[in-house]
Structure 1
Amino acid sequence: MAEFSAAVYQNEFLPDGGTDVHAIVTLTCSGAGTAGRTGSGAAGEVIIVDTSGSMRPPTMAAAQEAARAALAEIVDGTWFAIVAGADRAMLAYPPVSSGPGLVEMSARTRAEASAAIDRLVGSGGTAISTWLDLAGQLFSSVPHVTQRHALLLTDGENRERPGLLDAAIRRATGYFQCDCRGAGTEWEVAEIRRIAQALLGSVDIIPGPQQMREQFAGIMRASMARGVADATLRVWTPQGAQVLFVRQVAPTVEDLTGRRTPHDALTGDYPTGAWADESRDYHVAVRVGAKAIGQEQLAARVQLVLGDRPVAQGLVKATWSGDAALTATIDDQVAHYTGQAELAAMIQEGIAAKASGDEDTATTKLGRAVQLAEQTGNHDATTKLGKVVDIDHDAGTVKLRRGVDKADEMALDTASTKTTRIRKGPSPAQPAPGGSR
Structure 2
Amino acid sequence: MANFSKSTVPQFSVDVYQNEFLPEGGRDVSAIVTVTSTGGGTTGRQPLTPAAGSAAGVVIMVDCSGSMDYPATKMRGAREATAAAVDTLHDGTSFAVVAGTHLAKEVYPGNGRLAVADARTRAEAKEALRRLSAGGGTAIGTWLRLADRLLSSADHLTIRHGVLLTDGRNEHESPEELRAALDACAGRFTCDARGVGTDWEVKEVTGIASALLGSADIVADPAGLAADFTAMMEQTMGKGVADVTLRLWTPVGVEIAYVKQVAPTVEDLTARRTEAGPRAGDYPTGSWGDESRDYHVSVRVPQAAIGQEMLAARVSLLAPDPLGGDPRPLSQGLVRAVWTDDLAMSTSINPQVAHYTGQAELADVIQQGLDARKSGDHDGATAKLGRAVQLAAASGNADTAKLLSKVVDVVDAATGTVRLKAKVAEADEMTLETRSTKTVRVKR
Same fold (TM over 0.5): yes
Does 1:136 pair with 2:144?
no
User: 1:31-46 to 2 correspondence within 5 Å?
Assistant: 31-34=39-42, 37=50, 42-46=55-59
Q: Any idea what SS the aligned residue of 1:54 has?
A: helix
1: CA distance, partners of 2:409 / 2:225: 30
Counterpart in the other structure of 1:300: 313
Counterpart in the other structure of 1:314: 333
Percent identity reads 56
Counterpart in the other structure of 1:235: 248
Counterpart in the other structure of 1:387: 406
Counterpart in the other structure of 2:197: 184
1: CA distance, partners of 2:313 / 2:243: 22
2: CA distance, partners of 1:41 / 1:384: 38
Q: Any idea what SS the aligned residue of 2:175 has?
A: coil
Does 1:163 pair with 2:176?
yes
Counterpart in the other structure of 2:390: 371
1: CA distance, partners of 2:231 / 2:255: 40
Give the superposition deviation at 1:41: 5.5
Give the superposition deviation at 1:118: 0.8
Aligned length: 421
Q: Any idea what SS the aligned residue of 2:373 has?
A: helix
Read off the aligned partner of 1:157 and give its amino acid letter.
R
Q: Any idea what SS the aligned residue of 2:68 has?
A: coil
> Does the 8 Å CA contact 2:262/2:360 hold for their aligned counterparts?
yes
Read off the aligned partner of 1:120 and give its amino acid letter.
L
1: CA distance, partners of 2:56 / 2:211: 20
Counterpart in the other structure of 2:324: none
2: CA distance, partners of 1:377 / 1:237: 34
User: 1:35-434 to 2 correspondence within 5 Å?
Assistant: 37=50, 42-56=55-69, 57-96=72-111, 100-159=112-171, 160-307=173-320, 308-393=327-412, 396-424=416-444
> Does the 8 Å CA contact 1:350/1:365 hold for their aligned counterparts?
yes
Counterpart in the other structure of 1:27: 35
Higher mean C-alpha displacement, 141-150 vs 44-53: 141-150
Query: Could you give the per-residue CA deviations for residues 364-406 of structure 1, whole angstroms, max 9, x where no partner exists?
Result: 2111111111111111111100000111117741111111001
Q: Structure 1 residues 293, 79: CA separation in 2 closer, same or farther (over 3 Å shift)?
A: same
Does 1:14 pair with 2:22?
yes
Q: Any idea what SS the aligned residue of 2:242 has?
A: strand
> Does the 8 Å CA contact 2:50/2:92 hold for their aligned counterparts?
no
Greater RCO between the two (CA within 8 Å, min separation 6)?
1
Give the superposition deviation at 1:144: 1.9
Read off the aligned partner of 1:377 and give its amino acid letter.
G
Read off the aligned partner of 1:397 and give its amino acid letter.
T
> Which structure 2 segments of 5+ residues have no match?
1-5, 43-47, 321-326
2: CA distance, partners of 1:38 / 1:199: 27
Q: Structure 1 residues 39, 320: CA separation in 2 closer, same or farther (over 3 Å shift)?
A: same
* TM-score where L is the length of structure 1: 0.94
> Which structure 1 segments of 5+ residues have no match?
425-437
Counterpart in the other structure of 2:323: none
> Does the 8 Å CA contact 2:197/2:220 hold for their aligned counterparts?
yes
2: CA distance, partners of 1:30 / 1:396: 39
Higher mean C-alpha displacement, 32-41 vs 209-218: 32-41
Give the superposition deviation at 1:162: 3.4
Q: Any idea what SS the aligned residue of 2:287 has?
A: strand
Read off the aligned partner of 1:20 and give its amino acid letter.
D
